[in-house]
Amino acid sequence: MSEAEALAEDQAAQILEELVASGDAPAQPELFALGTRRERPSERLHALERVGEKVSRALRGAIEPLAAARTRVIAQPITTGAYEDFTDTLAPFTSYSHYRLDPLNGGMLVTIEPQFVVALLERYYGGGIGQAEPFTRKEFTAGEEMLLGRLLDRVVTTLAEQWQPLAPIEPRLVQRETALADIGFLRGEDQVVIQRFTLSPDGCASTTVSIVYPLALIKPIEERMQHQAEDTSPTAAQAWRAKLSSALSEVRLPVRSVLARPEITLNQLMALKVGDVIPIQLTDRTPLLVASRQVAAGTIGEQEGRAAMLIEKIGRN
């Protein structure tokens, strides 16, 4: 060590002692590992969040055939943190699926709650799909494994399709386990990006599917993500209009058809008795109404043993 370096070190030590003595510096130094961050600015991940919104819309159509029910899928805000902090929130028995993301240098982890798989299988084979019971077994049945594989294939395929604007990826299954100790994904202190999707089939308890990416995988492409966010970010009005349109498309409206509308006098109404006949006149087309507005017209018939209407015209006659 040179004399200049030794002098600088002595001066630094003297300044530190004075600060500690005056109470302006902590008595105990804080440890900091270079290259790690407990929090990550979310503005760098806007593009990934938009991918999540697209995935949620696409997943609805992919999962509804398995659930045999209308399903709501909501993309939750992206979070970051240590891998062990995420895994500490999971149940001991959880479905873990580790995928490589070729050609990127890394992979992703998909976690699914076992109760949802059991409830989904029950519904898939025609049973009820009420509140999922606590999962007490230590493994899936063959049928549950089969349905889990189909569910994951749809989730991963949808994810890969929506990732294309950021980076073309080809997910490849490495391993699927139900115990965290058997998954060789990351170390506990490694930083991760967590993307969660809440799935809510009608009549079934909601579940959460989590996609976990190593932060080291996202860092090389986050500049591209940032450019993507800047190039394609909608204006506030456009974003509001898109959200409003999405919300309106989910509104459920009661639809009814009217075969005939006969009119009788009040005296005839008061004199009605069992066996009386009220003549009616059927039109060629039966109107289909929402509230008091006619939206279509068609012919009444039968399909698969149930009454049905064949739509022949949209709008008023």
One domain, residues 265 and 194: no
Instruction: Give the pLDDT confidence score for residue 231 in this predicted structure.
Output: 53
One domain, residues 115 and 229: yes
In a domain, 259, yes or no: yes
One domain, residues 234 and 268: no
**Residues pairing with 198 in the sheet:** 74, 208
Range of the domain at 268: 255-274+281-314
One domain, residues 289 and 197: no
CA distance 205 to 130: 7
Q: Which of 249, 266, 298 is the last residue of a domain?
A: 249
One domain, residues 108 and 223: yes
The set of long-range contacts for 36-39, using a CB threshold of 8 Å and a minimum separation of 24, is 36/189, 36/191, 37/191, 38/81, 38/82, 39/80, 39/81
Residues 6+ apart with CB under 8 A from 116: 132, 199, 204, 205, 207
- Please write the tens of the pLDDT for every residue from 243-301: 787 777 778 888 888 888 888 899 988 999 999 988 888 788 888 888 888 888 888 88
One domain, residues 170 and 91: yes
Question: pTM here?
Answer: 0.58
In a domain, 305, yes or no: yes
- Please write the tens of the pLDDT for every residue from 147-189: 899 999 999 999 999 888 778 889 999 999 998 889 889 989 9
One domain, residues 151 and 59: yes
In a domain, 12, yes or no: no
Please give the torsion angle defined by the CA atoms of residues 45, 46, 49 and 51, in that order, rounded to the nearest 10 degrees.
Answer: -100
One domain, residues 176 and 202: yes
One domain, residues 261 and 299: yes
Q: For 73-94, what is the mean pLDDT?
A: 91
In a domain, 33, yes or no: no
In a domain, 218, yes or no: yes
Q: For 1-28, what is the mean pLDDT?
A: 57
List the single range of 136-140, 189-193, 210-214 with lowest mean pLDDT. 136-140
One domain, residues 184 and 301: no
